[in-house]
Amino acid sequence: MRLGVLDVGSNTVHLLVVDAHPGARPLPAHSHKVELRLAQLLDEGGAIGPDGVDRLVAVIREALQAAEDKGVEDLLPFATSAVREATNADDVLERVRDDTGVELTVLTGAEEARLTFLAARRWFGWSAGRLLVLDIGGGSLEIAYGIDEEPDAAVSLPLGAGRLTAARLPDDPPHPDDVRALRRHVRAEIARTVGEFSRLGAPDHVVATSKTFRQLARIAGAARSAEGLYVQRELKRASLEAWVPRLAAMTSAERAELPGVSEGRANQLLAGALVAEAAMDLFHVESLEICPWALREGVILRRLDHMGPV
């Protein structure tokens, strides 16, 4: 059957269309995404303003039309941290439902971490052993660890690249004092969670998902996306540590010239790099592998699991 996943994230609204059935690997058929940056549209009171809601409704309508054009039979719509944490979330969800007919399921941070972990587990298989999975989104950082398909520990922290950039790095290029303050903040937040994972033992394999990690791996020398999903891509901590001060000295326009960095994400790449560097350091990770599957694939896999065999 043809499934569609509508992901209303902190950076983008992304429709992923796949051909899938229980027991088979989901095959991507179409991708439609618009950079909305909801995490950066919150007002001082933490609400998504009227213009932001109008834009969200318009983008969802576009995605619905794309889903119809591609023959989607079942649409799985969900929202993550930007909507979840908006002070007017209920009003936003009601407006979306009234104007588009879409009932957005708002995932908790822990659900995001668990579903992303499921996707990574299915991608790497049981032979990967104990997995530590890191995911940096626009609004939050998810960390999950475990040996089965359900992680033994899963947390979500308010350390998304878009959120941190908007709140703590107002200048372009950023002021060194702001960079140092953000570095301290990120490390203090992550350090509070390390003990919960350390007691479970060292992971056998560390993997990372998300656009932020893919871009960081690419500028550090990993293969281009054009070379395919099955090319192994790694990010070494030493390479990342060398890149952080370089990124801090660049403007957003200069970062956008780096290989694999999109213009829309260039401004938040430094914040994402600081989060990635802190997580790898505090969890004693020397190298991690980039996983092509993430939250959207986890949602699809969970849906197929609930369908059962045909």
List, for residues 281-306, the tens digit of each pLDDT value. Answer: 999 999 999 999 999 999 999 999 88
pTM of this structure? 0.94
The reply to whether 159 and 63 lie within a common domain is: no
Cα–Cα distance for residue pair 164/276, rounded to 1 Å: 13
Q: Which residue has the tokens 């690419």?
A: 218
Q: How far apart are CA 188 and CA 248, in angstroms?
A: 20
Task: State pLDDT tens for residues 158-193.
Answer: 999 999 999 999 999 999 999 999 999 999 999 999
**pLDDT at residue 127 is higher than 70:** yes
Q: Is the dihedral of CA 296, 299, 302, 306 positive or negative?
A: negative
Q: Is the pLDDT of residue 310 over 50?
A: no
CATH number of the domain residue 65 falls in: 3.30.420.40
How many C-beta atoms lie closer than 10 Å to residue 294's C-beta? 25
Neighbour count for residue 145 (Cβ, 10 Å): 24
Total domains in the chain come to: 2
139 and 285 together in one domain = yes
Average pLDDT over residues 93-116: 97
The answer to the question of residue 302 being in a domain is no
Task: Tell me the two tokens of residue 174.
Answer: 């950023």
Last residue of a domain, one of 66, 87, 106: 106
Domain presence at residue 306:
no
- Nearest-angstrom CA–CA distance, 129 and 146: 8
Shared domain for 82 and 207, answered yes or no, is no
Containing domain of residue 51, as a range?
A: 2-106
Q: Are residues 240 and 196 in the same domain?
A: yes
Identify whether residues 125 and 143 lie together within a single domain. Answer: yes
Residue 90 sits in the same domain as residue 113: no
DSSP 33: E
Mean pLDDT of the chain, nearest integer: 95
pLDDT at 90: 97
pLDDT of residue 24: 84
Give yes or no: residues 147 and 277 share one domain: yes
- Residue 9: what are its φ and ψ, rounded to 5°? -95, -175
Same domain, 122 and 260: yes
Say if 309 falls within a structural domain.
Answer: no
pLDDT at 282: 98
Instruction: State the CATH number of the domain containing residue 239.
Output: 3.30.420.150
Mark whether 171 and 102 lie in a shared domain. no
Are 138 and 235 part of one and the same domain? yes
Tell me, yes or no, whether 177 and 163 share the same domain: yes
